[in-house]
């Protein structure tokens, strides 16, 4: 069985090739061809001997994602890619966004998700599998090939919870930030989590270790959505086992360890999380460690639930809430929602076109 070469860091590839007496500089040439120049065929790596290209073809494979569907927003420079994973016949969605000189890719770490957050379509889609390192990276590489542009920013905010696929997610970070790869500045990468006990602390320790210095500036965003444990438990069922007091302690640890401020993601839900006590708790929370709060509009999904009742709010409602926070010295932003018309905005990824397209045998 051929090995997936995208799952190897440079050090791991060097070690593999050393067993067959192949010099380390050859590993660097191969790694740069795959991860920097985005070459999808060993025969196209022209700066290595033909014998080595033949060796690689007998040892490794270069998998590809199959493009199933592409939706383009009519209102923003946003595109949603629906891919099929190699060898597993499962879908994953990735979002491409361009604005203000930035090209951002919102990538997935799982096909589906099993956390069941009531505001998120991915949870209703259900969990299918954790993505391999290769499958995480390929979302980026395939889009580079299609769009002919390299991303300036990466957000791990697509399908799935990064900390539930921790090892593969962390390894993908190392490869993306490697000087022999895309060499993305880690400060341009944001990781979003709903908050899992021990994982935030572990992440802080891992990215500040000497061996991981290339990823030490990665930004952390907590899907907060309520400062009330009871309401948050209702919105994010797994938070029943991950209480806010415990998560806050880990965020303090993260900041002290990394020196990187925290971002709190907060979906505006009228009459649920915008009351006076919510404002007071957010003001107090913002003083705990340097942070900012991103207010996000609720994006309705195909799944009908009680949150539909919260969608009847005006711009005055959301602006009033933001103004109260700012008066309390909270650094707060109203996050722009890109791609709502193609269901590419926060909480809308569900690969809903996959089965329909597959059944009709129609691909992009």
Q: Please name the residue that has the structure tokens 């999904």.
A: 301
Q: Where residue 342 falls among pLDDT bands split at 50, 70, 90?
A: confident
Residue 300 has pLDDT above 90, yes or no: no
Q: Please name the residue that has the structure tokens 């460690």.
A: 289
Catalytic residue among 117, 120, 177, 346: 346
Q: What is the pLDDT of residues 166-188, one digit of tens each?
A: 999 999 999 999 999 999 999 99
* Percentage of the residues of the chain whose pLDDT score is greater than 90: 79
pLDDT for residue 340: 85
Listed in order, strand segments (DSSP E) in 151-274 are 153-156, 189-193, 219-223, 262-268
Q: Where residue 50 falls among pLDDT bands split at 50, 70, 90?
A: very high
pLDDT for residue 335: 86
Domains along the chain?
3-61 (1.10.150.530), 66-359 (3.20.20.70)
Question: Does 106 participate in catalysis according to the annotation?
Answer: no
Q: Where residue 243 falls among pLDDT bands split at 50, 70, 90?
A: very high
Q: Dihedral (C-alpha) 195, 199, 204, 207: value to the nearest 10 degrees? A: -120
pLDDT for residue 364: 67
Catalytic residue among 14, 84, 93, 265: 93
In whole numbers, what is the pLDDT of the chain averaged over residues? 93
Question: Does 346 participate in catalysis according to the annotation?
Answer: yes
CB neighbours of 309 closer than 8 A, spacing ≥ 6? none
Q: What is the pLDDT of residues 90-100, one digit of tens each?
A: 999 999 999 88
pLDDT for residue 354: 72
Residue 351 has pLDDT above 80, yes or no: no
pLDDT for residue 353: 75
251 vs 77 pLDDT, higher one: 251
Q: What is the pLDDT of residues 252-277, one digit of tens each?
A: 999 999 999 999 999 999 889 999 99
Q: Where residue 312 falls among pLDDT bands split at 50, 70, 90?
A: confident
């Amino acid at each position: 069985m051929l090995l997936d070469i995208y799952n190897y860091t440079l050090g791991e590839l060097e070690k593999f090739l050393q067993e067959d007496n192949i010099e380390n500089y050859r590993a660097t040439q191969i790694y740069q061809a795959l991860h920097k120049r985005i070459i999808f065929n060993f025969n196209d790596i022209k700066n290595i001997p033909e014998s080595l290209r033949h060796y690689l073809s007998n040892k490794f494979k270069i998998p590809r994602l199959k493009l199933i569907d592409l939706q383009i927003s009519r209102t923003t420079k946003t595109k949603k890619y629906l891919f099929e994973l190699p060898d597993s016949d499962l879908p994953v969605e990735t979002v491409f966004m361009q604005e203000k000189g930035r090209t951002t890719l919102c990538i997935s770490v799982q096909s589906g998700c099993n956390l069941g957050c009531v505001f998120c379509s991915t949870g209703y889609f259900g969990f299918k599998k954790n993505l391999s390192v290769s499958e995480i990276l390929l979302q980026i590489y395939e889009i580079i090939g299609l769009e002919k542009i390299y991303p300036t920013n990466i957000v791990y905010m697509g399908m799935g919870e990064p900390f539930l696929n921790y090892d593969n997610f962390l390894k993908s970070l190392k490869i993306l930030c490697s000087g022999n790869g895309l060499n993305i500045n880690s400060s341009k990468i944001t990781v979003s989590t709903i908050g899992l006990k021990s994982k935030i602390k572990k992440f802080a320790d891992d990215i500040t270790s000497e061996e991981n210095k290339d990823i030490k500036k990665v930004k952390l965003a907590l899907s907060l959505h309520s400062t009330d444990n009871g309401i948050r438990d209702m919105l994010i069922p797994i938070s029943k086992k991950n209480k806010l007091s415990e998560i806050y302690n880990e965020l303090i640890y993260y900041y002290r360890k990394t020196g990187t401020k925290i971002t709190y993601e907060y979906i505006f839900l009228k009459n649920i999380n915008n009351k006076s006590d919510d404002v007071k708790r957010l003001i107090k929370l913002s003083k705990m460690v340097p942070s900012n709060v991103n207010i996000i509009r609720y994006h309705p999904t195909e799944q009908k639930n009680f949150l539909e009742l919260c969608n009847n709010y005006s711009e005055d409602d959301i602006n009033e809430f933001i103004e109260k926070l700012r008066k309390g010295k909270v650094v707060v932003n109203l996050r722009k929602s890109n791609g709502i018309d193609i269901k590419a905005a926060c909480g809308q990824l569900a690969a809903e076109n996959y089965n329909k397209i597959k059944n009709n045998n129609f691909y992009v």
